[in-house]
Chain A
Amino acid sequence: MKRILVLVFAALLAAGSVFAGGQQEEAAAGNSIEYVSMWNAGEPQAIFMEEMAALFEAETGIKVEITFAGRDILTKIRSRLLMQDAPDLVDQDFSELSGALLRDDSVLVEPLNDFLYNEKGPEGQASMMDLFDENLMKLYAKDGNIYFFPYEFITSGFFYDKSLYAEYGLSAPTSWDEFISNNKTLTDAGIPALALDGNISFYNAYYYYWAVARTLGAGNLMAAASDKSGATWDDPGFLKAAEMVYELSAGGENLFQSGYAGSNYPAAQADWAMGKSGAVLCGTWIPSETKSQQDAGFDMGFFPFPEIDGGKGTIADVEAYLIGFAIPEGARNSAGAKEFMKFISKEAYADQLAKDTVNIAARKNSYYPDLLLEVKPYLDSAASFHVSYDGVMQGQPEWFANVFYPLDNDLVFGNITPEEFIAKIKADTIAYWKSK
């Protein structure tokens, strides 16, 4: 028995040693790049990246070693960067990348201006920049430098059940009043007009951020968050936005599903996908995320957050939430990483990304999946872009989490009136900046 145990132990130890290669032992060679990805193995984007890596290796001979680190990739990467152990390529949404790697006190990623303006495009375009809307690319620029290279474009708005709307003679609203009227028609018929999982604060935050974008225009929420005196909150536009949100809440017309404040993700969005509510305010990932819950004939429509009479923001101002690559400072094979970025931007692959992942590719004029076709006209007619949550999530993350979220949740749940919201957020913002 003892001998058997010893043999088993020795065999397992040997197996352990064989399978156990250290990361530093696998240092990137000249003909390989290390890519640490925000996706998790098995996600459509992860499968796409694996396929791209294989095709890239076949074409160039450069091996792409991918680690699927998941959404908290930047926590892991930041410590590696500080230990001078940078991978060659990372990806994440640009707000996260910007917040983690592009701080005022330390820039931990390489600028890509030379690559974007002087490198020819994959189909012979004069420059890589020709593949994208330049305004979009400059959204996250810092001191004139562009640091990130996008491959996926996300925006947010209302996704609605077209069949349900048609059943009640409704169509996509073009104004706030029409939006309220549509929602009332549905709630009067006993159908929740809006679905919301109240336990996700950043979903709740969509409402107020978008309302401010419509009353005052982009950039104002960020200005209010950054104003140490709190005086910016005195602008009536902020109160108007709070009134819009309150009107939807349990304190106002009560247009969300019953018990929405306590609804746990993904209960409400799953119900919506199964035809139990009218619309959901979410990012363009929602068609893909709810795909396995939708009825076979689920007819999904899209409309942007409605404009309001006298508001400064219009639907031509589109939210841009970009996902893409960054090359960390100290990357051993920065040239290989750039080559991979260029490879993946080919028209055919941008289309494939959109098709396989049911998302929008960042490259101009790419394919749109059926479920997102209704988003296209709004993007095509965009006059300007602003970053998600008006940039507050990455620009003032502490304020956003500790000051804004609690009060915004209270407003969305109808626990406080618009006037109380403004008074409290002004006071809390002043207190927040005093504590700094």
Chain B
Amino acid sequence: MMTVKKINLWSILSKCFLYFWCVFSIFVFLWVINSSLKTNREFFGNIWGIFQTPQFENYGKVWNNYRMGTYFMNSVIVVVPSVLGLLAVSAPAAYILARVDFKLKKTLTRLVSFGLGIPYQLLLVPLFFLLFDLKLINSLTGLVLVYVALSIPFTVFLLISYFASLPKSLEEAAEIDGCGPGRTFFQIMLPLAGNGLVAAGVLNFVGLWNEFLLALTLLSKDSKYTLSMGLYALQGSLQYTGDWVALFAAFTMVVIPTFILFILLSRAIVAGMTMGAVKE
């Protein structure tokens, strides 16, 4: 017997919107890459046209002359330790809050949730003075510490649900086999929360890689600029020199690492984000 599927208008509309959004995003991305390979005259002569001869020197120019290489390395130096440090702090905290019963558990969990609700723009001034007193203004270490501290609530909140979804029987089996709490966490539970850690890591990586306001507030020396700051400076520089195609090359450089990360880890990210969403 044939079953007639009910046509759901809402579903069709949503799909159309998503397809349109995808096509639009891909088009914009390709347009930026295409523009980055043109000369300025080509670009202004026909902004929708395909480049004649690829101008790879645009990339060389922003990497060397406009210090994008330095800004890129600064971003790596700041973001990678920030994400690793963040996971190192947040994973055990989330594990305890998810799996261990103790007196202040609910209060602590709520406190973490409250942290999510504080807009960090409110913290800019006190943070600036605090770091100034600690002589950590214009310091990448200072920025790492701030990034780790401000990202903890989101990461802990995200990881709690992963740890909570793991079966209790695994811990019990580990205990019977003689594992202490530390070993149970590192050797049993942490690997099982791998997808969750990847998702938390990538989401934080992307957020911090593109972070601008804190970097703008806490870094004023251009030798310490991260990529987002560098891009801002570059935008200023290139508009005054009229070298707009180089700006597109810089945009591409900034986007590529997160783009690659998403491509490589997309399965883990999706698995991590949907884990614990339903009870089976």
Binding site for B on A (CB under 8 A): 2, 5, 8-9, 12-13, 15-17, 19-26, 36, 39-44, 46-47, 67-71, 76, 80, 83, 265-267, 270-271, 273-274, 285, 288-293, 295
Q: A residues within 8 A CB of B65?
A: 41-42, 47
B274 contacts partner chain A, Cβ-Cβ < 8 Å: no
Inter-chain CA distance A265–B67, complex, in Å, is 25
Residue B81 lies at the interface, judged by CB distance under 8 Å to chain A = yes
Known contacts A12-B84, A19-B74, A274-B45; is-contact A43 B240 (Cβ 8 Å): yes
B81 touching A12, Cβ below 8 Å:
yes
Once bound together, how far apart are the Cα atoms of A400 and B183, in whole Å? Answer: 67
Consensus secondary structure, chain B interface:
helix
Cα A165 to Cα B242 with chains together (Å): 24
Residues of B143-198 at the interface with A, using a CB-CB cut-off of 8 Å, are 143-144, 186
- Asked if A13 and B138 make an inter-chain contact with CB atoms under 8 angstroms apart, the answer reads no
Q: Which of B80, B88, B140, B237 is packed against the most chain A CB atoms within 10 Å?
A: B237
B141, B220, B240: the one within 8 Å of A20 (CB):
B141
- Nearest-CB residue, chain B, relative to A67: B221
Q: In the complex, what's the smallest C-beta–C-beta distance from B175 to chain A, in angstroms? A: 20
Q: List 17 A-B contacts (CB under 8 A).
A: A13-B144, A19-B77, A21-B139, A22-B135, A40-B236, A41-B67, A42-B62, A43-B240, A67-B223, A69-B220, A70-B233, A70-B236, A76-B220, A273-B44, A274-B41, A288-B241, A293-B44
Q: Report the minimum CB–CB distance from B46 to chain A (whole Å).
A: 11
Are B222 and A69 in contact, CB atoms less than 8 angstroms apart?
A: yes
Q: B109 an interface residue at 8 Å Cβ cutoff? A: no
Closest to B71 in A: A41
* Residue B243 at the chain A interface, CB threshold 8 Å: yes
Contact indicator A266/B244 (Cβ below 8 Å): yes
| Chain A residues whose CB sits within 8 angstroms of the CB of B137 once the complex forms | 22-24
Given contacts A41-B67, A41-B233, A289-B241, contact A68 B222 (CB under 8 A): yes
Q: How far, in whole Å, are A292 and B41 apart by their CA atoms in the complex?
A: 7
User: B229: nearest residue on chain A (CB-CB)?
Assistant: A70
> Which residue of B has the minimal Cβ distance to A358?
B241
Residues of B within 8 A of A13 (CB): 81, 85, 144
How long is the Cα–Cα vector from A267 to B240 in the complex, in angstroms?
A: 14
Q: Is B269 an interface residue (CB 8 A)?
A: no
Tell whether, in the assembled complex, residue B80 and residue A291 are in contact, meaning their CB atoms are under 8 Å apart. no
Whether B142 is near chain A, meaning CB under 8 Å from some CB there, is yes
Whether A23 and B77, one on each chain, are in contact in the complex, defined by CB atoms closer than 8 angstroms, is no
Task: Find the B residue at minimum CB distance from A73.
Answer: B220
A-B contact sample (20 more), CB < 8 A, given A266-B242, A292-B241:
A5-B84, A9-B81, A9-B88, A13-B85, A15-B77, A16-B78, A21-B139, A25-B139, A40-B237, A42-B62, A42-B65, A43-B237, A43-B240, A46-B237, A68-B233, A274-B41, A274-B44, A285-B240, A292-B40, A292-B243
- B254 CB–A CB distance under 8 Å: no
Q: In the complex, A412→B80 CA distance in Å?
A: 51
- Interface flag for B206 (CB, 8 Å): no
| A289 engages B142 (CB within 8 Å) | no
Using A68-B233, A271-B44 as known contacts, say yes or no to A16 and B244 having CB atoms under 8 A apart.
no
Residues of B within 8 A of A41 (CB): 65-67, 222, 233, 237
Which residues of B74-91 have CB atoms within 8 Å of chain A's CB atoms?
Answer: 74, 77-78, 80-81, 84-85, 88
CB contacts (< 8 Å) of B220 on chain A: these are: 23, 36, 67, 69, 76, 80
Contacting residues, chain A, for B142 (C-beta < 8 A): 20, 22
Query: Chain B nearest CB: distance from A154 CB in Å?
Result: 12
User: CB-CB < 8 A to A76: which residues of B?
Assistant: 220
Specify which chain A residues have a CB less than 8 angstroms from the CB of B62 in the assembled complex: 42
Among A25, A40, A285, residue most surrounded by chain B Cβ atoms (within 10 Å)? A40
Q: Does B136 contact A (CB under 8 A)?
A: yes
- Is B266 engaged at the interface, CB distance under 8 Å to the other chain? no
Counting CB contacts under 8 A, is B239 at the interface?
Answer: yes
Cβ–Cβ < 8 Å partners of B242 in chain A: 266, 270, 288-293
| Closest Cβ–Cβ distance, residue A249 to chain B (whole Å) | 25
Q: Is B19 an interface residue (CB 8 A)?
A: no
A67 adjacent to B222 (CB under 8 Å): yes
